[in-house]
Structure formats: C-alpha cells, structure tokens
Amino acid sequence: MLGFNKGIRQGVHNLTTVDRTEIFYSSAHTGVVYDYEQKKQKLLQGHCNQITCTACSEDKSLIVTADSGQDSMVVVWDSYYATPKRTYFSPHENGVISMDISPDNKYIVTLSNNIPQTISLWDLENLEMNEPIVSSTFIDQDKSF
C-alpha cells in the first residue's frame, strides 16, 4: 500500500532512528507504518471514516490518528507494535480536522471539523477520563453585515 491521503497537512511522519527505518502515513481509513529497508508494513485499522489528520510524538513512540463524520474517533497508537493504546469516541460533533501531541506525550489538542470550531485538550495519562480536560468554542463576535 503506497497510496496516501494527500489532503492531510503533515500527513507523513518520519519514524526513523538509529535502530529503525520506518515512516508513517495514512491511506483512507488506515494508518500505515512502512519499513522502507525491509519493505514491510504494519496496518493501523479501526477508523470508520477516512483519517483527516495525524500526529506523531517527538520521541516517535506514539502515533495519533483522527477522522471526521459520524462515529468519529481519535486513536493513540504504539508506533512500534502498531497497537491502539487509547481511543476517544466522538471527540467533536463532526470529528477532528487538526491536532497535535505535546512534546512530553501527556496531552493531545484537537480542533473540531465544524463551525463554530472547538479546540479541546485531552489528558493521555488519566485513563479514567474520556472527555477533554477543557474545551473552548470560537464564536466570531466581530461579524459585520
């Protein structure tokens, strides 16, 4: 599988280290961890909708994928084993259009795919919490008609 979602900004991530020769990208509903030396891939499957955004932790241990539409979700993956570590179901009403992960792997920030947009902060360490720590909706109060 070498096709990828070309519409995603920052949709390809270099996972290469001294001991690893892999990249990550998404293709439709699936994330792909591709070892370009061994020509092997691991598939990250579980999304019902096309993946709309991805993020990779600074230490390259975590990959985060999100989609938009009905039954949207954010999935946090172990990048070495290609297994899900955490899933947030229905993170925003119409899914996620953009996101990032903190350098310390403790938080994810998501931006909703609806108007008005909502930005949310998620705690990856608190396994009991399945909703954002905080969310804020931008309402344009400067509309001129």
Are 108 and 98 within 8 A, CB to CB? no
CATH 1.10.3720.10, domain 13-137, yes or no: no
Tokens 């039954």 correspond to what residue? Answer: 71
| pLDDT for 1 | 46
Extents of the domains making up the chain? 13-137
pLDDT along the chain (145 residues), means of 10: 72 95 95 96 96 96 95 97 96 95 97 94 95 89 51
| pLDDT for 72 | 95
Peptide bond into 132 cis (omega under 30): no
Are 27 and 3 within 8 A, CB to CB? yes
Distance CA 123, CA 131 (A): 9
